[in-house]
Amino acid sequence: MQQNGCKVLGKAWVKLLEPKKQSTYPYTKGAQKRPPWWPAMTGPNKIRHKEPDHLHKRERIILLMHILGLIVSQDPNGPAAHRNIDVAKLEEVTREAMATWFADREKPKNAEKRCFLTQLFRVLYKEERYRRGELDGSTTICINDLAGSGDYDDEDDEEDEPPSQQYHQAHPISPFLPTPSASLSPSHQITSTASTEMANYYPPRVPLRSSYIPTSPDTTTAE
């Protein structure tokens, strides 16, 4: 997805989690008025409490991955569960928010990015089922990380980086989202054909604040 598309996603996803954010947690009040679920503002994955449009590319991506983690984590005490938000609701809001962006006749390449959302939600639905205990840990999901690839055209801030060659290799289905609960820990990793460059680019885990920190299993235990 281009960063202009990510800006649309960011605004829609924040509004989904916090419908009255502007009145309850206004961006103009800075860090002191950020919602409890906002990503950490210290550490290697810190981001500022600003509108997605005004965040740097790196911050915006961290915010998006953080929100995905909150929704798919199955945390009964998290903000997604509080508002009855699941992957199906996220997809509904996402498709509606992105419809105009995809249909922009002045930027026909936007429509080519639609397949990325399709593949994203394919993975999210599978992970949601996995965390509910409906899928075995050996389940494999196939995606095409070159779908919709073409000329690089991404208007964003100074932190933009040119794309690099993609390498196909099996990686965990969810290298970015919070670790599933111990009761759903698989005996084998769920894998997908994600690229090495992508796995290295995104942070392996975005720290959560307050009561939304999920319980993680001891991943060092031998199988």
Cα pseudo-dihedral 10, 14, 17, 21, rounded to 10: -170
What's the pLDDT at 1? Answer: 66
In the chain, what are the domain boundaries?
Answer: 3-159+166-212
Tell me what pLDDT residue 180 has: 39
- Cα–Cα distances (Å) from 144 to 41, 108, 167, in that order, read 34, 21, 11
How many Å apart are CA 150 and CA 89, to the nearest integer?
30
pLDDT at position 13 is 98
Q: What tens-digit pLDDT sequence spans the chain (223 residues)?
A: 689 999 999 999 999 999 999 999 999 999 999 999 999 988 988 999 999 999 999 999 999 999 999 999 989 999 999 999 999 999 999 999 999 999 989 888 889 889 989 999 999 999 999 999 999 888 888 887 655 455 444 554 444 443 333 333 433 444 445 443 433 344 344 444 444 444 443 444 444 444 444 444 444 444 4
pLDDT at 178: 47
Give residue 74's pLDDT.
Answer: 84
